[in-house]
Amino acid sequence: MNAVVAPTAVETVTPVRILQERSGDAAAVDALVLAAFGPGRFAKTAERLREAAHLAAGFCAYEGERLIGSVRLWSITVGEARSVFLGPVAVDAASRRGGLGAELVQACIDEAKTMALDGVLLVGDPPYFSRFGFLPAPEAVLSGPVDRRRVMWLPITEVAPVGLVRSVA
């Protein structure tokens, strides 16, 4: 008599890849960001800045064919400082707290360091972004209402983020 062998459960883990954003990613990125931030989206001041800026770079986290994370960098200047504006950063709710958000932010920092910039600016939660080296940037002036305690700068050179924040098209 043949022995009956129970099938062994094999757990397959789809690897997550972080890739440079391409033009074909835009619709999936928009859907992910909408789901992460809700219909109210993010602060209008940041959105106005992004609308007028060149998309300098973006990174997408893919689990198989599914987009589960995104972050973008927008060309700006802050007074005399050459910079990029980081955001929005979003990770699919089911994939959070595994370090993906940190990988996406770090990919931006690494990229920014190759771009002849003075630093990276963002408007975000200090408890999250301070871990990457972002510091308060109270002298960076955005043209619109913003909680100044949330304006942060990651320095690359000695040039300080002092003055008006402008989009670079």
| Per-residue contact string for residues 94-123; x = within reach of ligand COA by CB under 6 A | --xxxxxxx---------------------
Q: Quick one: 109 or 159, whose CB is closer to ligand COA? A: 109
**CA torsion 114→120→126→128, rounded to 10°?**
-30
Q: How far apart, in Å, are the Cα atoms of 38 and each of 50, 56, 83?
A: 18, 25, 28
Both tokens assigned to 52 = 């007028």
3-class DSSP state for residue 46? Answer: helix
Give the footprint of ligand COA on residues 61-90 (CB under 6 A).
89-90
* Nearest distance, CB of residue 45 and ligand COA, angstroms: 14
Choices 12-20, 107-115, 124-132, 152-160 (CB under 6 A): range interacting with ligand COA:
124-132
3-class DSSP state for residue 27? Answer: helix
The residues, ordered by sequence, that sit 6+ positions from 25 with a Cβ below 8 Å of its Cβ are: 58, 60, 67, 70
* Nearest distance, CB of residue 101 and ligand COA, angstroms: 2
Task: Select the residue whose beta carbon is closest to ligand COA and give its number.
Answer: 101
With CB under 6 A, what is the number of residues at the site for ligand COA? Answer: 16
Q: Quick one: 62 or 128, whose CB is closer to ligand COA? A: 128
* Nearest distance, CB of residue 167 and ligand COA, angstroms: 20
Give CA angle at 138 (111, 157), nearest 5°: 35
Give CA angle at 11 (7, 13), nearest 5°: 155
* Nearest distance, CB of residue 37 and ligand COA, angstroms: 6
Residues binding ligand COA (CB under 6 A): 36-37, 89-91, 96-102, 124-125, 127-128
